[in-house]
Chain A
Amino acid sequence: MSDIRCVNLCRTFHQGDITVTGLDHVSIDIKKGEFVCLVAPSGGGKTTLLNAIGGLDKPDSGEVWIAGKRIDNMGKSALAEMRLNNIGFVFQAYNLIPVLTARENIEFVMEVQGIPAADRHRRSAAILTEVGLEGLEDRRPAKMSGGQQQRVAVARAIVAKPEIVLADEPTANLDSSSAEQLMDLFVSLNKNHNTTFVIATHDQRVMEYARRIVKMLDGRIDQDIPQDPR
């Protein structure tokens, strides 16, 4: 069964008189446990597609199905619930909550889900170590480097073990070793929990991990290539 299914998605943006194409008849099936890289030049529609899959943005036409449920016509609250329980997001701009510390940012989703405190602390401590942020748990985002913030954002996305992780340029600010560490984390999550990954990236290092590469151009799917991960 496919985990993510997009049918004929179209999305245009209007900026004054100019119409910009975000998505142009995009159809894609992603199965449970797949590890997919979305590759496109800047402006190619990666973020727009991820937003549509996550229910953050409504397509003008077409359908989006997540785990067998159609979501493009859901209401805001239902979509929020769906994201809370099924999807981990890593945004292009890390988008941490400024008044919360690294640990609190990471625990935020679990707390909203109602996971008990002890459980939360255990899991946040573990993930902080895994992304290499031990010792920084009580810092607020403003006191962290871009790379550190990005790792907090990744930790926040995966800590609750969602079915699907949507990551937008997760390695953009990371040095090679951090990037590698992060990708290893993704892969192990993918292997051990059968988590579905859709990662938008320009980064060659990331693409090497993918088992399927979807190339986009001007909002269309240009190529869809299976590949052997390294």
Chain B
Amino acid sequence: MLLNNITFRLAWRNLWRQPRRTLLTLGAMVFANIILVCMISLQFGMYGLMIDNTLSMLTGHLKVLALNYKDDGKIRQSIDEAETLARQLRNDLNRLKNKNFEGESAANNDTEGENNSVKIAVRGKAFALASSEDRSFGILVMGVEPEHEPQVSSIPGLIQRGRYLSDSKAEEIVIGSVLARNLQVDLDDEITLIGSGHDGSFAAAVITVVGITQSGMTDLDRSIAQMPLQLFQETFAMGNGAHEIVIRAPDLSDVEEISIRAQRLLDDRPSLVLHDWDDLEPGLKQSIQADLFSAWFMYGVLITLVAFSVLNTMLMSVLERTREFGIVMSLGLTPGRLGRLVILETAIMGVLGLAAGILIGTGLVAWAGIYGITFPGMDEMGKQFNLPARIYPDLTVFQLALGPSIVFAATLLSSLWPALRLHWLEPVQAMRAAG
């Protein structure tokens, strides 16, 4: 029906009157579309990784902290009955969550239940002077739950030598590789911790190094020092208190919902505050936004260039058909209908460009999804944002269609001017034009 339509037929044939010009314009469109599809999916893939890797180190998706602890970080600003509260949260958040997904994923629950549940761990934090036989350094020592910590953090998985903490009471410590080098200690060596406790009393402990972690990030490897929570509580006179409850959602997209539920459970404890990851790592979103902004500026330039190339093509093709347009207007085609013809010609080109761009772009991205992409300078960026050396683009319909759709819209927009100009065309004058 559409293919038999006279306007469509005219438009289609008109396009192929100057095949080279049409193909060149089309090529520019396809090229831009491919670039957009690839870059956008790569970008989003990178952001996902950046967020994920950064948060999985220590931050988690949400944290319960005592009021003002985020800014002051004083040992006294602690959470009472932290483990009890954590247990409550663990039960409630997971029970509610499972209830929601019951039925639709009952079968999945057994196999994927572990991955789908909300992970929660308690930590205490205190500054202490760590001394080996020869040296002393001021460090931030962390008390963690050996059974829960590996679920919320990737640090326990970064053990390079030795092992991670085994139980809550053992007099053990795990430290980063740079710290170990600085203190000149190795596995099985002892470290003395000296600091002040929750009540201001003198705190001291002698503990054995059982594991050394290496992340490759100097800052992190210099600062990691984790001991079992109970030992930490005893050493620093914390009682049953701690400083943070880390919550890790199954997926970034679940955070909002979980945050609402967790907040409800915290309502009766006004001394506690729930922070989300954006709160805890404000630089992360900012750097993503800055990157997005500069990227969209580039895309904007690219899209504008394509739009102008289309505008040029359509203006030329309208100009050289002046005489013909004079004829069809004389035969009774209204300027509006003629304008739609010009827009249709552009739209056909746009659709071809859209289809080809998405097709080829998707192919490339799919290929990259299998093999990963690496490019110069990625090592450096990787270090900064905890990225691996290869990245796998993230492909959703939205990301796929976003760039090409904008190109398509810009293309159509740029055909408006040539189309509108037809309203000024005088049929007699037009027919007298050489053609």
Binding site for B on A (CB under 8 A): 51, 54, 56-57, 76-77, 80-85, 87, 89, 91, 93, 95-100, 104, 107-109, 111-112, 117, 156
Q: Are B6 and A108 in contact (CB under 8 A)?
A: yes
Encode B305-332 as 1/0 by CB contact (under 8 A) with A.
0000000000000000001101111111
> Which B residues are CB-close (under 8 A) to A56?
330, 427-428
> Which A residues are CB-close (under 8 A) to B6?
104, 107-108, 111-112
Task: Choose from A81, A93, A104 the contact partner of B332 (Cβ within 8 Å).
Answer: A81
- Whether B336 is near chain A, meaning CB under 8 Å from some CB there, is yes
Task: Give bound CA distance, A117 to B1, whole Å.
Answer: 11
> Which A residues are CB-close (under 8 A) to B334?
76-77, 80-81
Tell me, rounded to whole Å, the shortest Cβ–Cβ distance linking A82 to chain B.
8
Most A CB within 10 A of own CB, among B6, B10, B327, B332: B332
> Which A residues are CB-close (under 8 A) to B323?
95
| Dominant SS among interface residues on chain A | helix
- Whether B295 is near chain A, meaning CB under 8 Å from some CB there, is no
A99-B14 contact in complex given A76-B335, A112-B332, C-beta closer than 8 Å:
yes
Q: Are A83 and B335 in contact (CB under 8 A)?
A: no
Task: Give bound CA distance, A89 to B14, whole Å.
Answer: 23
Q: Are A91 and B330 in contact (CB under 8 A)?
A: yes
Q: Are A89 and B331 in contact (CB under 8 A)?
A: yes
Binding site for A on B (CB under 8 A): 4, 6, 9-10, 13-14, 17, 323-324, 326-337, 423, 426-428, 431
Closest 3 CB pairs of A and B: A84-B332, A99-B13, A111-B6
> Which B residues are CB-close (under 8 A) to A111?
6
Q: Are A97 and B330 in contact (CB under 8 A)?
A: no
Tell me, rounded to whole Å, the shortest Cβ–Cβ distance linking A176 to chain B.
28
Most B CB within 10 A of own CB, among A56, A87, A117: A56
Q: Are B428 and A57 in contact (CB under 8 A)?
A: yes
Q: Are B428 and A85 in contact (CB under 8 A)?
A: no
> Which B residues are CB-close (under 8 A) to A84?
331-333
Tell me, rounded to whole Å, the shortest Cβ–Cβ distance linking A185 to chain B.
19
Task: Give bound CA distance, A87 to B329, whole Å.
Answer: 12
Q: Are A99 and B17 in contact (CB under 8 A)?
A: yes
| Dominant SS among interface residues on chain B | helix
Q: Are A97 and B327 in contact (CB under 8 A)?
A: yes
Task: Give bound CA distance, A104 to B428, whole Å.
Answer: 23
> Which B residues are CB-close (under 8 A) to A91?
327, 330, 431
Q: Are A100 and B10 in contact (CB under 8 A)?
A: yes
Question: Assuming A80-B334, A95-B431, what are 15 further A-B pairs, CB within 8 angstroms?
Answer: A76-B329, A76-B335, A77-B334, A80-B332, A80-B335, A84-B332, A84-B333, A85-B332, A89-B331, A96-B327, A97-B328, A100-B9, A100-B13, A112-B331, A117-B4
Task: Give bound CA distance, A51 to B335, whole Å.
Answer: 18
Task: Give bound CA distance, A122 to B420, whole Å.
Answer: 36
Task: Give bound CA distance, A55 to B332, whole Å.
Answer: 10
Task: Give bound CA distance, A122 to B326, whole Å.
Answer: 28
Task: Give bound CA distance, A85 to B331, whole Å.
Answer: 10
> Which B residues are CB-close (under 8 A) to A104?
6, 9
Name B4's closest neighbour in chain A (CB-CB).
A117
Tell me, rounded to whole Å, the shortest Cβ–Cβ distance linking A31 to chain B.
24
> Which B residues are CB-close (under 8 A) to A83?
330-332
Tell me, rounded to whole Å, the shortest Cβ–Cβ distance linking A157 to chain B.
9
Task: Choose from B4, B9, B329, B332 the contact partner of A109 (Cβ within 8 Å).
Answer: B332
Task: Give bound CA distance, A54 to B6, whole Å.
Answer: 24
> Which B residues are CB-close (under 8 A) to A109?
331-332
Task: Give bound CA distance, A87 to B332, whole Å.
Answer: 9
Name B335's closest neighbour in chain A (CB-CB).
A76
Task: Give bound CA distance, A85 to B427, whole Å.
Answer: 17
Name B431's closest neighbour in chain A (CB-CB).
A95
Task: Give bound CA distance, A84 to B326, whole Å.
Answer: 14
A97-B324 contact in complex given A80-B332, A84-B331, A89-B330, C-beta closer than 8 Å:
yes
> Which B residues are CB-close (under 8 A) to A100?
9-10, 13
Name A80's closest neighbour in chain B (CB-CB).
B334
Name B332's closest neighbour in chain A (CB-CB).
A84
Task: Choose from B332, B337, B423, B428 the contact partner of A51 (Cβ within 8 Å).
Answer: B428
Task: Give bound CA distance, A80 to B326, whole Å.
Answer: 11
Name A120's closest neighbour in chain B (CB-CB).
B6
> Which B residues are CB-close (under 8 A) to A87?
332
Task: Choose from B324, B332, B337, B428 the contact partner of A98 (Cβ within 8 Å).
Answer: B324
Most B CB within 10 A of own CB, among A91, A98, A104: A98
Task: Give bound CA distance, A180 to B329, whole Å.
Answer: 30
> Which A residues are CB-close (under 8 A) to B333?
80, 84, 112
> Which A residues are CB-close (under 8 A) to B427?
56-57
> Which B residues are CB-close (under 8 A) to A99?
10, 13-14, 17
Task: Give bound CA distance, A84 to B337, whole Å.
Answer: 13
Q: Are B332 and A77 in contact (CB under 8 A)?
A: no
Tell me, rounded to whole Å, the shortest Cβ–Cβ distance linking B11 to chain A.
10
Most A CB within 10 A of own CB, among B329, B330, B428, B431: B330
Task: Give bound CA distance, A199 to B23, whole Å.
Answer: 45
> Which A residues are CB-close (under 8 A) to B13?
99-100
Can you sample 28 A-B contacts with CB below 8 Å?
Answer: A56-B330, A56-B427, A56-B428, A57-B426, A76-B423, A77-B336, A80-B333, A81-B332, A81-B334, A83-B330, A83-B332, A84-B332, A87-B332, A91-B327, A95-B323, A95-B326, A95-B330, A96-B327, A97-B324, A104-B9, A107-B6, A108-B6, A108-B331, A109-B332, A111-B6, A112-B6, A112-B333, A117-B4
